Amino acid sequence: MATYAIGDIQGCFDELQDLLKKIEFNPSQDSLWFAGDLINRGPQSLETLRFIRDLGPSHQIVLGNHDLHLLASWVHGKSIASKDTLQPILEAHDGEALCQWLRHRPILVEDSSLGFIMVHAGILPQWSMDQVRQYANEIEKTLQSEAYKDFLNHMYSNEDNIWRENLTGLQRLRTLVNVFTRIRYCDKNGMMALTEKGELGTQSPGFNPWFSYPERKTRDQKIIFGHWATLEGKILGEHNVFSLDTGCVWGRSLRAMRLEDLTVFEVPSRQKKSR
């Protein structure tokens, strides 16, 4: 029996099957953790979403920014860019059921026996684990409530990039979503540089990776995350964080890590290589 955490799939269904074959995944014994961004940009988003949903109790996921983008498009007809691959889900006979299932997935996965938590993008350095749990729960409760449509209609914002405990309403939720699903760089006070996506060293002065601050309150907690393809999976255990997005949709690879012994498995991407 083993638990494998898998990085951003983004609709690369064939590579997921290659990876599951490589790790000899047995759904009756093993468990899969998916670090979010199950869909979008890759060629088989619908097949990927159906497959993961049908895994049943042998898997857990956290929602990523692309997964939330699908939900916003489903609820309010948000514009779908030409590079998106969400339309087959929205037009599928089971598209409604898939989206309803997806909006009930968590923002945070935690297993105290394994000693890991998983989020899609990251958490702020000043947050304790109790705060991480509380804030993730706030988003989850909203998505799973009758207020989810209004929330998804007002979810997008680059301006809500500074966390303050006294934030309320949609501004509070937007800021929390930006932390859990979009953060890469922030300053020492927790201001997020949401438009910066480059590799380490390319960020503006005063900003550093969210996980790199010595005073980070969760430094003793092992954290799995995806989202940051330009890290190329190089951050693995440093700072007690494990980066699993190895840019499969950009032609690199798809990664899994076995949580019991930190063994890493990768398969090459079948997608056209891009910068």
Split at pLDDT 50, 70, 90, the class of 81 is confident
Buried b (16+ CB within 10 A) or exposed e, 212-241: ebeebbbeebbbbbbbbbebbbebeeebeb
- Confidence band (pLDDT; 50, 70, 90) for 179? very high
pLDDT tens, residue by residue, 22-44:
999 999 999 999 999 999 999 99
56, part of any domain: yes
pTM over 0.95: yes
Q: Find the CATH number of the domain harbouring 50.
A: 3.60.21.10
41 secondary structure, DSSP code: S
Each residue of 198-239: pLDDT tens digit?
899 999 999 999 999 999 999 999 999 999 999 999 999 999
Q: What is the pLDDT of residues 186-202, one digit of tens each?
A: 999 989 999 999 899 99
| All residues at 6 or more sequence positions from 50 whose CB lies less than 8 Å from its CB, including other chains | 94, 98
DSSP string, 207-261: -EETT--TT-TTTTSEEEE---GGGTT--BSGGGEEE----GGGTSEEEEEETTT
Question: Mean pLDDT over residues 168-172, rounded?
Answer: 96
Q: Does residue 273 form part of some domain?
A: no
In a domain, 101, yes or no: yes
182 is in which domain, residue-wise? 3-268
The pLDDT of residue 274: 78
Q: What is the pLDDT of residue 226?
A: 98
Contact 268, 23 (CB under 8 A): no
The answer to whether position 275 is within a domain reads no
Q: Is the pLDDT of residue 275 over 80?
A: no
Q: How confident is the model at residue 66 (pLDDT cuts 50, 70, 90)?
A: very high
> Does 159 map to a domain?
yes
Tens digit of each residue's pLDDT (9 = 90 or more) over 88-101? 999 999 999 999 99
Does residue 179 lie in a domain region? Answer: yes
Examine residue 108 and state whether it is found in any structural domain, yes or no.
yes
The H-or-E segment that residue 131 falls in is helix 129-143
Give me the mean pLDDT over the 127-132 stretch: 98
Can you read off the two tokens belonging to residue 227? 């989202």
pLDDT tens readout for residues 3-26:
999 999 999 999 999 999 999 999
Q: How many domains does the chain have?
A: 1
Whether residue 274 lies inside any domain: the answer is no
Q: Coil, helix or strand for 77?
A: coil
Kindly indicate the confidence band of residue 86, based on its pLDDT and cuts at 50, 70 and 90.
very high
